[in-house]
Amino acid sequence: MIIAMASWSTWKAPSLVALIFLVAAACGGDGDGQVYEADGVGGTSSANLVNPDGDVVGSAEFEQGPTGVLITMSMNGLTPGAHGIHLHEFGACTPDFKAAGGHLTATDEAQHGLKNPERTVDNHDNGDLPNLYAAADGIAQAEFFTSLVTISGGSMPALLDADGSTLVIHENPDDHLTQPIGGAGGRVGCGIIR
Ligand SMILES: [Cu+2]
């Protein structure tokens, strides 16, 4: 509308040039149109992780960075080896971990799996993370970084949206391919993100 109304009189030409510059900046400069935006860079949230008996077995911290969320976590009581771990859509772990719902996504058509060839920037599963590895003593410590969510607001599904979200740990590894959860099996840990 502004462009259509702009005349080529000498005093309006500078504002037209400025408008074109802003549009280019919003496209990130490489023409792909993908821009990560979040409210409150530096903001944090956290979760206490519980096992199916309700015992606290770990914790996770979430910090909003300019291009994604850094997750720092530790947990004990796991079987040694790899465990699928995802961000789930509801902020609930009771009466059982099914209350956490499915993965946090922006579309019902979401494709699970970091290695899924059907996956695009328009249909990725925003709850996906690499696997969590527990040592022989059942303890796992990890950092994850994801640019597929925000803590609040912005251009990706937010952890602290109206229905909240959870960090869920599964009993088996996520193969990053199989629908809907990479064959990760049952839920052995859950934490409400607050
Ligand atoms: Cu999951």
Least confidently predicted of 10-14, 87-91, 130-134: 10-14
167 C-alpha to ligand 1 centroid (Å): 8
Would you state the pLDDT for residue 28? 36
Contact (CB, 8 A) for 192 and 93: yes
18 C-alpha to ligand 1 centroid (Å): 46
105 three-state secondary structure: coil
pLDDT over 70 (residue 10): no
Domain layout of the chain by residue ranges: 1-34, 44-192
What is the C-alpha separation between 6 and 12, in angstroms, rounded? 7
129-141 residue pLDDT tens? 999 999 999 999 9
| CATH architecture label of 44-192 | Sandwich (2.60)
146 C-alpha to ligand 1 centroid (Å): 15
Would you state the pLDDT for residue 26? 35
101 C-alpha to ligand 1 centroid (Å): 9
9 C-alpha to ligand 1 centroid (Å): 59
88 C-alpha to ligand 1 centroid (Å): 6
pLDDT over 70 (residue 20): no
97 C-alpha to ligand 1 centroid (Å): 10
Phi-psi region of 101 (alpha: psi -120 to 50; beta: other; left: phi over 0): left
**Radius of gyration from C-alpha coordinates of the chain:** 20
Least confidently predicted of 25-39, 132-146, 168-182: 25-39
Tokens 């934490």 appear where? 191
